[in-house]
């Protein structure tokens, strides 16, 4: 499919968390170009407004500043979406935070900060999506959780990030099971080395498993946006449970 020819009617509504930059921005722009109505959630209103302006989507896009670590704010996000567009067909559960600190040097506040965003915030959004998708008519929808290659193979100094991404896989599997009865399809996208602010350091050199520092291959984040769009556009009877998209030459499979 091409971004200038919407594949289906423009009545489907998506919420994208962490939509102001990086992967969330790429996914939101891909969905908007395909005709979706998209609610942009994130902490920084100015970045959300920039995505909305860049998309040229007019009334099909809504910027909704939200702190996903606050359950009340998440509930308000979904309520606002239903009020504006009538339903929620897709949640791209994307908001996340990374931190590179040796285990022994990590403070309790640093640990909790990553856990609150990457795990608690993702759960609050998933829970809110379930409540809306079960209650709406027609019932159901789709949830795509942003996992990570770290859910399978950790990097050095990534204990909080890796632990939360392993937990996201647990959320995905359990929610996929519970969603069956309500036509809620739940899947996960695991991304490796897309060019974003969060991952830019990979191209400059990061610690490897053997203790060396090496630059790593990267890929355009737009490929991630297209992957999310592919998953989002599947018919209700089909689901991608786990999807990995990565820079072809990055160290992941094999021995480095």
Q: Beta 206-207 vs 213-214: how paired, if at all?
A: antiparallel
User: DSSP state, 119?
Assistant: I
Contacts 24+ apart (CB under 8 A), 170-173: 171/119, 171/122, 171/123, 171/126, 171/145, 172/145, 172/147, 172/241, 172/242, 173/241
The stretches of the chain forming alpha helices (DSSP H) are 22-33, 45-55, 71-85, 108-115, 122-135, 159-179, 222-232
Give me the catalytic one of 152, 161, 182, 230: 161
Q: What is the reported pLDDT for 3?
A: 44
Q: Is the pLDDT of residue 136 over 60?
A: yes
Structure confidence at residue 5 as a pLDDT band (50, 70, 90): very low
Q: Is the pLDDT of residue 8 over 60?
A: no
Q: Which domains does the chain have, with CATH numbers?
A: 13-246 (3.40.50.720)
User: 142 φ, ψ to 5°?
Assistant: -135, 140
Q: Is 124 a catalytic residue?
A: no
Q: What is the reported pLDDT for 7?
A: 45
Q: What is the reported pLDDT for 256?
A: 61
Determine if residue 7 is left, alpha or beta; phi over 0 gives left, psi from -120 to 50 gives alpha, anything else beta. Answer: alpha
| pLDDT digits 0-9 by tens, 62-92 | 999 999 999 999 999 999 999 999 999 999 9
Q: What is the reported pLDDT for 255?
A: 59
């Amino acid at each position: 499919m091409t971004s200038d020819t919407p594949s289906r009617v423009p009545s489907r509504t998506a919420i994208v968390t962490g939509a102001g930059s990086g992967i969330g921005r790429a996914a939101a722009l891909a969905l908007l170009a395909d005709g979706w109505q998209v609610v942009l959630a994130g902490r920084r209103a100015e970045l959300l407004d920039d995505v909305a302006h860049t998309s040229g989507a007019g009334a099909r896009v809504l910027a909704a500043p939200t702190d996903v670590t606050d359950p009340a704010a998440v509930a308000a996000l979904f309520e606002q979406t239903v009020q504006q567009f009538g339903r929620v067909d897709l949640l791209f559960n994307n908001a996340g935070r990374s931190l590179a600190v040796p285990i022994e040097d990590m403070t309790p506040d640093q640990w909790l900060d990553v856990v609150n965003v990457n795990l608690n915030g993702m759960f609050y959004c998933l829970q809110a999506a379930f409540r809306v998708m079960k209650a709406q008519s027609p019932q159901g929808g789709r949830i795509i959780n942003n996992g990570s290659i770290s859910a399978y193979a950790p990097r050095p100094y990534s204990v909080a990030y890796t632990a939360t991404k392993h937990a996201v896989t647990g959320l995905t599997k359990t929610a996929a099971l519970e969603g069956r009865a309500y036509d809620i399809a739940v899947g996960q996208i695991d991304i490796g080395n897309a060019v974003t602010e969060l991952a830019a350091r990979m191209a400059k050199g990061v610690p490897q498993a053997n203790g060396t520092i090496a630059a790593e291959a990267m890929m355009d984040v737009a490929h991630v946006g297209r992957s999310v769009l592919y998953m989002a556009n599947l018919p209700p009877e089909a689901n991608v449970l786990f999807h990995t998209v990565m820079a072809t030459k990055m160290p992941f499979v094999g021995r480095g």
